[in-house]
Structure 1
């Protein structure tokens, strides 16, 4: 087995770091998606009732329905924007990972002697 160059080794390490970042981003996005579903569900429930409550710390406080809808709408917008940002970051990371993977494969092909070269050296 041939040793890979230091440059290729560094690229492989970068790939591993990108993979970790992608996993972390995926977990964050799943968390945001869960929160978004909860907010959308709460908005749906608010429409069905005349009285709205919000939990603040350990207490439940009655709030005007419009105020709570506004707060939930703002939270929904924030969560959606955050998810879009994460998706863009993930796309950039995937693109960089593909580029690094191609470079590493090319480097390895250059370092691996072909069958003809092996025969000539024998």
Structure 2
């Protein structure tokens, strides 16, 4: 196997690892987003005006509206990160396709 082909395969493997990392990060964000959504539903159904938030080692009482706003801000930040990861994922996929093509071409030589 020539050096060029080895280099291409090495790059391909590197991008595969990057893709796996991005996919895992997206899954983590999706889970966080779903948890926030469930929490918002519970807060909307709550009959009280106060709720609790765990911060570090303590639980703090806060108005429900304030808790909702914090969760919505977090959800928005997660959505921004998700969009960024989706763009990164697509770039990596495109690079993998390009490298796969180059590896196949180098095999024909």
Shift of 1:45: 0.5
The unaligned stretches of length 5 or more in structure 1 are: 112-122
Structure with greater Cα Rg: 1
Aligned counterpart, 1:59: 58
TM value normalised by structure 2? 0.93
After TM superposition, the structure 1 = structure 2 runs for residues 1-122 of structure 1, keeping only pairs within 5 Å, are: 3=1, 5-49=2-46, 50=48, 51-109=50-108, 111=109
TM value normalised by structure 1? 0.83
Shift of 1:28: 0.9
Task: Let me know the Cα RMSD of the aligned residues.
Answer: 1.0
Task: Give CA deviations for 1:9-64 in whole Å, capped at 9, x if unaligned.
Answer: 11110000000011111111111111111111111110011231111112211101
How many residues align? The count is: 107
Aligned partners of 1:42 and 1:27: how far apart in 2? 23
Q: Secondary structure at the match of 2:59?
A: strand
Aligned partners of 1:44 and 1:81: how far apart in 2? 21
Moved over 6 A (4+): none
Aligned partners of 2:92 and 2:43: how far apart in 1? 39
